[in-house]
Amino acid sequence: MTRKYFGTDGIRGRVGEGIINPEFVMKLGWAVGRVLGCNGSDQGKVIIGKDTRISGYMFESALEAGFSAAGVDISLLGPMPTPAIAYLTRTLRAQAGIVISASHNPHQDNGIKFFSGDGTKLSDKLELAIESELDKPMQCVDSARLGKAERVEDAAGRYIEFCKASVPFNMTLNHLKIVVDCAHGATYYVAPNVFEELGAEVYTIGTEPNGLNINDNCGSTRPEALQDKVLQVNADLGIGLDGDGDRVIMVDHKGEVVDGDELLYIIARSRVEEEKMNGAVVGTVMSNLGLEKALQLDGIALKRAKVGDRYVMEMLQKGGWVLGGESSGHIICLDRTTTGDGIISALQVLHAMFRSQRSLHELKNGMTKYPQCLVNVRIKKKVDITSSTLLNDAVKQVELQLKDRGRVLLRPSGTEPLIRVMVEGNDKSEVELLANNLASVVKEAFLR
C-alpha cells in the first residue's frame, strides 16, 4: 500500500504548509497513541523530544494534547538528540518515542519521527496503521482516562552516561584537542559534555541555539566553519553533528573532511583488528567504490541498500549484521545502539585512534576515495528509466569502458522529477566526461 503521509523518515515539511500544522500534529499524536500507546490494561506512555527549532514548542504542545486525548501519558524530554530518544524510549519502558525535528533542514522546516518501544524505526505496517487512524474522526477518551504529562529532568545525564559506556572504560581522550560543532541543534549541551568527561580539551561552535539558527552555515552539512576552527586552534580533530544529532562528519588535524564512508571504514577496520567484525558492512548505492575496495582487502563484503537509513537498517537486520551507514555520516552501530547516532559513531572512531595510537588522518588514508560525478537531470514528469533502449545501451557502453575501474548509477529522485546520473571511477576527467555524456542521453530519451 502507498503511504499517504509518511516519507522515508517520518513526516516532514515546511511549517504552516500542508500537514505540518498544529491541527494535524495534534491528530497525529492521537492516532499514534491509539496504535502504539496501548499497554494492556495499564495506562500507556510515550516520550517526546525535540531539536532546537522554534516551531518545536508549538508541535510539542500539539502532540501532548493528542496523546492525552488518546489516554496516553507523556514524558517530555525537551531538546535532545534523536538517538537519545531511541535510547530513552527503551530505558524508560515507553511504548513509543517521538522526535520533533527536521534533521539537517533549516528552521523553516519541521517534522515528526517515531521509534517503537524497542528503540527502532517503525515498520511499514505500523505506519500504515497510524495512517488508517488518521482517516478516522478524532475522539477523546473519558476524562478519568486522559493522559498526564511530566518533565524528565535527568534525561541529558542518562544519555551522556550511555554514550560514554559505548567505549571501553579505560579509554580516555586526555591530550586530545577536539572541536565540536553542534549545528545550534539538539546536541548543543550533550555532545561537549560527553567528550569533556572523557578527558578531551573541547572547543565548541554551534552551541548557542536561538530557534532560528539550527544548521545555519554549520554542522555536518556545512563543515567549513569546523575546518577553519580546527586549523585556528591547532586541534587534533573536529566533530560535526547535524541538527538532531544522528549524523556526523569529522575533520582531521590538516582540516580535511572525513565523510561517512571513511568513518565507516575506520570503524570496520578497527573491529577487524579487535576480531569483533562479523559479516558484511551495509552501505548504499551511493557509497564510494573506494570503501568497497578497501573493505575487500580485509575480507569484508560491502552490501548496498537503497538511499536512506531505514533501508540500511532493514538490510542489517535481515543479514544479522551490525555495521552500516551512508556517505552523509548517518552511521549505525547495532553492537552499540539501535539507530544512527552521531556522538556514538564519533566515539567509535576515537576508540580506533586510542587503541591504534594513530591520528584520524592516518586512519582515513587506509581508504582511497574514487572520484564521483553526480549530474541531476530535470525532466517533465516521473518516468521509468528502464523503458528507454537508447539509455540502456548507453549505460552498458559506459560500464564496458569502466569494467572494474568504476561503476554507473541512474536513480530517479523520490520527491521531484529528477534523474540522478552518477559515474564513479579512478580517473576524474574520464568520470566527468562519461557522466555528462550520460546526462545528455537522459535528456534525449525523456525530454523530446
Q: Which three cell numbers stand for residue 26?
A: 495534534
User: 151-160, 174-183, 407-416: lowest mean pLDDT where?
Assistant: 407-416
Which pLDDT band holds residue 113 (cuts at 50, 70, 90)? very high
- DSSP H helices, 42-141, are 55-69, 82-91, 124-134
Global pTM reads 0.93
- Tell me which DSSP letter residue 371 carries: P
* Gap between the Cα atoms of 11 and 25, Å rounded: 10
Active site (annotated) includes residue 220: no
Confidence of residue 87 (pLDDT cuts 50, 70, 90): very high
Would you state the pLDDT for residue 382?
77
Closest alpha carbon to 380 in 414, 322, 419, 334: 419
Query: Residue 244 and residue 132: Cα distance in Å, rounded?
Result: 28
Question: In this model, does residue 321 exceed pLDDT 60?
Answer: yes
Q: Which amino acid is at 310?
A: R
Out of 103, 116, 166, 287, the active site residue is 103
Element (H, E) at 433: helix 428-446
Q: Is pLDDT of 90 > 80?
A: yes
Give per-residue pLDDT as tens, 256-284.
999 999 999 999 999 999 999 989 999 99
Please indicate whether residue 3 or residue 93 has the higher confidence score (pLDDT): 93
Domains and CATH numbers, the chain: 11-153 (3.40.120.10), 159-364 (3.40.120.10), 372-446 (3.30.310.50)
